[in-house]
């Protein structure tokens, strides 16, 4: 089993507060095998995600594939590409 990297002690006990501050993130290199395009398409076309923001972090391994995704992202205000991310910054992104 691979740990997810979030320590349980950092999760607030007030579940309402947790839901209101929830942050959706995708951490991975941008490549077809990671299936980011499918996630972005679902996020863009499902009303459930209208008021939820997806932050995408990762190095671009396949520029052609990224350009396909970028076309979708540019039409949506709730999907943001934040660029590559390195280990020293990860903890700030996933803090609650």
Question: What's the pLDDT tens digit per position in 3-12?
Answer: 666 566 655 5
Tokens of 64: 């052609």
Q: What is the pLDDT of residue 9?
A: 61
Q: What is the pLDDT of residue 37?
A: 97
The answer to whether the CB of 94 falls within 8 A of the CB of 5 is yes
Q: What is the pLDDT of residue 73?
A: 95
DSSP E strand stretches across 6-89:
24-27, 54-57, 79-83
Which whole-number Å values give the CA distances from 68 to 26, 51, 58, 72, 74, in the listed order?
17, 23, 15, 7, 10
Q: What is the pLDDT of residue 85?
A: 79
Confirm whether pTM is higher than 0.95.
no
Nearest alpha carbon to residue 27 among 94, 96, 95: 94
Query: How do the domains of the chain map onto residue ranges?
Result: 18-93
pLDDT tens string 25-60: 999 999 999 999 999 999 999 999 999 999 999 999
Distance, in Å, from the CA atom of 24 to the CA atom of 93, rounded to the nearest integer, reads 10
Pairing of strands 54-57, 24-27: parallel
State the fold for domain 18-93.
Rossmann fold (3.40.50)
Tokens 């991975």 identify what position?
28
């Amino acid at each position: 089993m691979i740990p997810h990297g979030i320590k349980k002690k950092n999760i607030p006990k007030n579940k309402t507060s947790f839901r209101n501050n929830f942050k959706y993130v995708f951490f991975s290199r941008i490549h077809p095998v990671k299936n980011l395009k499918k996630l972005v398409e679902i996020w863009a076309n499902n009303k459930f995600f209208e008021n939820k923001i997806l932050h995408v972090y990762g190095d671009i391994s396949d520029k052609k594939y990224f350009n396909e995704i970028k076309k979708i992202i540019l039409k949506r205000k709730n999907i943001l590409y934040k660029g590559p991310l390195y280990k020293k910054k990860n903890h700030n992104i996933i803090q609650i």
